[in-house]
Amino acid sequence: MKKLNTAWIIILILMIFSLPVYAGAPLDAVKINVNKVLDILRDPKLKAESAKGIKKEKLRVIYEDMFDEVEFSKRTLTRNWNKFNVDQRTEFINLFEQVLEKSYADKILDYTNEKVEFYKENMLSDTQTEVQTKIITASKEIPIFYRMILKDGKWKVYDVVVENVSLIQNYRTQFNDILLKNTPEQLLEILRKKVSKQ
C-alpha cells in the first residue's frame, strides 16, 4: 500500500512539473519581458538623455533572459555552422549578439507611447511556438511574432518575425551569400569591423 502511495505522489509531482509546458507559458514569458521593457522605457526617472546607458544596461538583462543566442546563431548559420570550429562559433555568437544589440537597442529606446497587444499563441510543435503580438502606433500597426523554443523548461525566443520578415532568415541569406565567397574567418572579420564601427 505504501508503494502505491509513493507511486501516486511521484505521478502527481511529474504532472505538476510538466504543466508549465501547456499553460500558455510562452505567451506569458513574452508578455512579462515586453512589459518589463515598456516599464523601463516609460520610467520617468530615466527620461533624461543621460540615462540612455542605464536603460540599455537594464534592457540587456531582459533580453539575455528572453533570447537564446546560441539557437539564434545556429539557425542563421544552418549548414555553415559545421564549417566553424568551436572557437569561431563562440566568437560568432558573441559578435552576432553585439550586432543585433547595437542595431536594435536605439530603435527600441525610441518607442514610448506605443501599445503592445498580445493576441495569440500558435503552437508549432510541443517544444516550439509562435507568440503573435502587435505594436500599435498612431499611424500604423506592426505585427511582431516571437518564435520560441522550450529549452530546459524555459521558453526562449529564437526568431523574431517583423511584418512577415523573419530576422533569422534574413541574416541566413546574408551569411550564406558572404560564405559562398569567403571563409568563416573572413565573415568573423566583417562582423568584428561592423561591431567596432557601431
Partner 1 sequence: MKIFLSLIFLCFFTVGCAHNPVPSSGAFPVKKSITQPVLLASASEQNPTLSAADAVNPVDEEYKEDEVFDNYTENAVAEEKVDIADPLEPVNRAMHQFNDKLYFWALKPVAQGYKFMIPEPARISVKNFFSNLAFPARFLSCLLQADINGAATEAGRFTINTIWGIGGLLDPSSGKELNLQTQDTDLGQTLGVWGVGQGFYIVWPVFGPSSPRDSVTIAGDYFLYPVSYISPWYAGVGVRIFEEINATSLRIGDYEALKEAAIDPYVAFRDAYAQYRFKKIKARKAKLNPSAPTEEKSASNNPALPKKEE
Contact status: 49 vs partner 1 (CB under 8 A): no
Contact status: 157 vs partner 1 (CB under 8 A): no
CA–CA distance, 35 with 115 (Å, rounded to integer): 10
Contact status: 136 vs partner 1 (CB under 8 A): no
Q: Residues of 142-170 as b/e, b for ≥16 C-beta within 10 angstroms?
A: eebbbbbbbeeeebbbbbbbeeeeebbee
Q: Which residue has the cell 543566442?
A: 69
Bridge-partner residues for 160, per DSSP?
146
Q: Which stretch binds partner 1 (CB under 8 A): 29-37, 45-53, 57-65, 133-141?
A: 133-141
Size of the site for partner 1 (CB under 8 A): 65
Provide, rounded to whole angstroms, the least separation between the CB of residue 45 and partner 1. 25
Bridge-partner residues for 149, per DSSP?
128, 156
Distances (CA, A) of 190 to 90, 94, 195, 196: 16, 14, 9, 10
Binding site for partner 1 (CB under 8 A): 3-4, 7, 10-11, 14-15, 18, 21, 70-71, 74-75, 77-79, 81-82, 86, 89-90, 93, 99-100, 102-104, 106-107, 110, 122-128, 130, 138-140, 147, 149-153, 159, 163-166, 168-171, 173-175, 177-178, 190-191, 194, 198
